[in-house]
Amino acid sequence: MKFSLLQIAQLLSAQIEGNAQVEISNVAKIQEAKTGDIAFLANPKYEPYIYTTQASAVIVNKDFQPKQAVSATLLRVEDAYTAFSKLLLEYEKLINSPKKGIEQPCYIHEKAIVGENVYVGAFTYISEKAQIGSNTQIYPNVFIGENVKIGENTIIYAGVKIYKNCVIGNNCIIHAGAVIGSDGFGFAPQTDGSFQTIPQLGNVVIEDNVSIGANTTIDRATLGATLIKKGVKIDNLVQIAHNVVIGENTVIAAQVGIAGSTEVGANCMFGGQVGIAGHLKIANKVNIGAQSGLGTDITQENTNWQGSPAIDLKEFYRAYAVFKKLPEIYKKLTQIERQLQED
C-alpha cells in the first residue's frame, strides 16, 4: 500500500520541502529507514541520522535548520513527534482492521446488552446486566462482571478481568492481564493482633480516552468510586489503590504505586517506580521523577519533585551535589581528627 507525500502532508498539515511526488509505503526509525519509508526527527540527539538516512521523507519541526545537505524530502510541521504519532495511528488503522463477530466458545448472559459491530473473542465471559457499547472489541479470555458498563470503540485485550459494577468509558484501551475493580487493601486491626476485612462496596469508574497498560491493577473503592478521569495514560504494572482519584491527562509510568484515597491533579507526570502514600493531595501539573517516594501533599501547581522522600527538584540537585562530596568531606574530617589527636 503506497501513499503520496501530498496525501500525508494534507493529513499532517505539513509543508513539503523537496520532491512532493515521492511515494511512501512504510514508516520506520530514522536510523533504520530505507527507500520508500517515512521517518521523523524530534530529539536533537538523533540529528546526525538525518544526513545519512535512506528514508524517502522525514518529518521535522518547522524551525529545524540542517547543518549540511539532506537527501530526504522534509515535511515541516509544528511538532514532529505529535505529527508522526498521528501518522502511526492512521497507518495502524489500515494494517489492523477491527475484528467483528462473536467467537465460540464464549458465554454472554441473556440479560447482557451487546451493541452493534462488537467483537467478542473465544472463552470470554460476559455476566448478567453487563452493557457493551458499539464497535467495542473484547479479546479472548476476558471476564466482565455483573452490571459492568463498557462504552463504544473501546478495546479490551486478552485476559483482562473487570469486576462487577465497574464503568469503562468510550475510546479506552485496556491491555492484557489488567485487573479492574478487585478489592481494595482494607483491613481493620483487632485487639488480638488479627485483621478484620473491611468490605469494599464501591467500584472503579474509568472515563473516556484512557489507556491502561498490561498487568496494571486498579482497586475498587471502599465506598463510592476509584476514579480515573478522561485522557489518563497508565503504563504496565501500575498499582492504584481504593478511592484514588487520577486527574485528567495525567501520565503514569511503569511500577508506580499509589496508596488509598490519594487525589492526583490533572496533567501530572510520574516516572517509573514512584511510590505515593495514602490520603495525599497532589496539585495539577506536578512532575515526580523516577523512584521517588512521596509522603506529603503537593499544593503548588507546575512543580517538579525528586528523591525519597521527594523534595523540590532544585533542592534535590543542591542536596545531591553535597551528597556526592560526602566521601571527600569524610576523608578530610578524618585527617583533621588525626592531626588534632597527634597535637
- Quote the pTM value: 0.88
The whole-number average pLDDT for the span 100-112 is: 95
Q: Given the DSSP bridges, would you call strands 304-306 and 311-312 parallel, antiparallel or unpaired?
A: antiparallel
Q: Which residues contact 122 (CB under 8 A, 6 or more apart)?
A: 103, 104, 105, 106, 140, 141
From the centroid of its chain, how far is CA 115? 28
180 vs 213: CA distance, rounded Å? 12
Instruction: Please tell me the distance from the alpha carbon of residue 264 to that of residue 281, in angstroms, as a whole number.
Output: 6
Active site residues: 242
For residue 95, pLDDT over 80 is answered with no
Burial of 120 (0-12, 13-18, 19+ CB in 10 A): buried
**% of the chain residues with pLDDT over 70:** 99
Q: Write down the pLDDT at residue 295.
A: 96
Average pLDDT over the chain, rounded to whole? Answer: 95
Which cell goes with 191? 485487639
Q: Sorting pLDDT into bands at 50, 70 and 90, what band is 1?
A: low
CB 178 within 8 A of CB 197: no
pLDDT at 24 over 90: yes
pLDDT above 80 for 266: yes
Which burial class, exposed, middle or buried, applies to 102 when counting CB atoms under 10 A from its CB (0-12, 13-18, 19+)?
A: middle
Please compute the mean of the pLDDT values over residues 283-305 and round it to a whole number. Answer: 97
- Cβ atoms 170, 192 nearer than 8 A: no
Q: What are 306's strand-pairing partners?
A: 311
Distance from C-alpha of 309 to C-alpha of 342, rounded to nearest angstrom: 41
Continuous segment of H or E residues that includes residue 113? strand 113-114
Q: What is the pLDDT of residue 162?
A: 98
Return the residue matching grid coordinates 489503590. 241
Residues 6+ apart with CB under 8 A from 166: 145, 148, 149, 180, 181, 203, 204, 205, 206, 220
Q: In this predicted model, what pLDDT tens digit does every residue of 181-221 receive, in sequence order?
A: 999 999 999 999 999 999 999 999 999 999 999 999 999 99
Q: Is 151 helix (H, G, I), strand (E, B) or coil?
A: coil
Domains of the chain, first to last: 3-95 (3.40.1390.10), 101-316 (2.160.10.10)
Contact yes or no for 306/292 (Cβ under 8 A):
yes
Distance from chain centroid for Cα 309: 24
Q: To which H or E segment does residue 69 belong?
A: none
